[in-house]
Amino acid sequence: EFATRARDAQPELNAYITIATEDQLEQQTTYARDLALKDAPLDLAGIPLAIKDLFCTELMPTTCGSKMLENYVSPFESTASSRLLQTGAVFLGKTNMDEFAMGSSNENSFFGPVRNPWHKEHVPGGSSGGSAAAVAAGLCLGALGTDTGGSIRQPAAYCGITGLKPTYGRTSRYGMVAYASSLDQAGPMTRTAYDAALMLTAIAGPDDRDSTSSAEPVADYLKDINKPLQGLRVGLPKEYFEALGEGPVLNAIMEAKKALEQQGVTFVDVSLPHSNLALSAYYIIAPAEASTNLSRFDGVRFGHRCNSARDLADLYARSRSEGFGAEVQRRILIGTFALSAGYQDAFYKQAQRVRRLVKNDFIDALDQVDLLLAPVTLGAAFRLGEKTDDPVSMYKEDLFTIPVSLAGLPAISVPCGTADASGTSLPLGMQLIGNYFDEARLLNVAHQWQ
């Protein structure tokens, strides 16, 4: 039923790049039984899920939203997808995304933009826009996304769903096509915090095949999900609210604050003084890592190959120019420049120092409180085409999500209020930011608030 619904909504929303055939759905069930992994921690038999098209899957193609990988079928399965398959869940399809996860609106996909289910002329956010739209439109019960600088949280806010970016290292990156390896993290996008807890339970935990996955034992995300919030201390980062200013997002967050106070939560102001430097540091670090990660797409071992190359240099140049879209090429150029001899100290190393300062800010703030409450975005989903000609305004979409990514902390975007736009009301979100490996608390607060 969900598969039919997904297919029917395709012309309107374009949320999927690949929708599983009957055969592929069937194969997944048999395939799951053969996976030589640990026993599944829970039973999600028959639950229809979707998965962002950058997780390698053996039974469906993995395009990463790019012409470069248009026809690529991976010979192996990502850890996150195999762990979900092991619980008995099925993937209805691979969701649309910004090419190589670079973007905030899903307009950078080679397969065309995704539309926001709440208003078709508005973007769903990005880069996990297909996953967010599919969940919001009821085309699946939950979806896997990835977040490097905000790609789970921002589209979740724009589509009115819940999206959790776990602590860096909590979920395995094995089999995820890499964008910026020191930031990339897989996480659940669902209707409720409870569903997010279920999906996180399935995918979290150490993995021998990802050396950056953490050995920290996985918490029980369901045990305390109903715990009363009485006595909890929440920090409000003052720099975030200064940058946000008046408007519907502030109003919605203040409403939420009031409701949480009634549940016994106390609020205090905290300071994250280096917040204004985070965006610039991210747009050096992420492109730097991307430029090296994407060097593997050379038209020889992987990816699109141009016709009748004259020599090797021509093969590289033309395959990459034809295979990568404009935004990906821009990031590769920025990254290569930032890492080049003579500029590395001025840009890359400086950005790493800023990253440390941003991280220390959070450590200090989280010494005083249990978690932080912040905005996810400056406003509601913008219109398709509104920011396509202005990369810097697009980059600013991640103002409130990027600092958390640089610090490697967990954060959840939870639906919170609405804003009027285009004659309708569009959903907004709020962001709860927790200490390292404190996902259980974020899920508890989000669940009690919902």
Q: Where does this chain bind ligand GLN (CB under 6 A)? A: 101-104, 127, 147-151, 179, 286, 398
By beta-carbon proximity to ligand GLN, the closer residue of 144 and 265 is 144
CA dihedral sign, ordered 158, 162, 167, 171: negative
By beta-carbon proximity to ligand GLN, the closer residue of 183 and 432 is 183
By beta-carbon proximity to ligand GLN, the closer residue of 178 and 256 is 178
Q: Is 52 a catalytic residue?
A: yes
φ, ψ (nearest 5 deg) of residue 356? -65, -40
Whose CB is nearest to ligand GLN?
151
How would DSSP label each residue in 257-309? HHHHHHTT-EEEEE--TTHHHHHHHHHHHHHHHHHHHGGG-SSSSSS---SS-
Shortest distance, position 367 Cβ to ligand GLN, whole Å: 27
End-to-end CA distance of the chain: 27
Shortest distance, position 442 Cβ to ligand GLN, whole Å: 18
Catalytic residue among 52, 94, 165, 359: 52
Q: How far apart are CA 450 and CA 440, in angstroms?
A: 15
Q: Is 82 a catalytic residue?
A: no
3-state secondary structure of 135: helix
Catalytic residue among 127, 213, 214, 291: 127
Shortest distance, position 419 Cβ to ligand GLN, whole Å: 20
Q: Is 109 a catalytic residue?
A: no
Shortest distance, position 104 Cβ to ligand GLN, whole Å: 4
By beta-carbon proximity to ligand GLN, the closer residue of 40 and 203 is 203
Nearest CA-CA partner of 161 in 184, 186, 134: 134
Q: How far apart are CA 317 and CA 394, in angstroms?
A: 27
Shortest distance, position 415 Cβ to ligand GLN, whole Å: 19
Where b means 16+ CB within 10 Å and e means fewer, 399-430 reads bbbbbbbbbbbbbbbbbbbbbebeeeebbbbb
Nearest CA-CA partner of 267 in 241, 240, 233: 233
Structure tokens given for 246? 């008046």
Shortest distance, position 151 Cβ to ligand GLN, whole Å: 3
Structure tokens given for 205? 């935990």
Q: How far apart are CA 444 and CA 221, in angstroms?
A: 8
Q: Give the catalytic positions in this structure.
A: 52, 127, 151
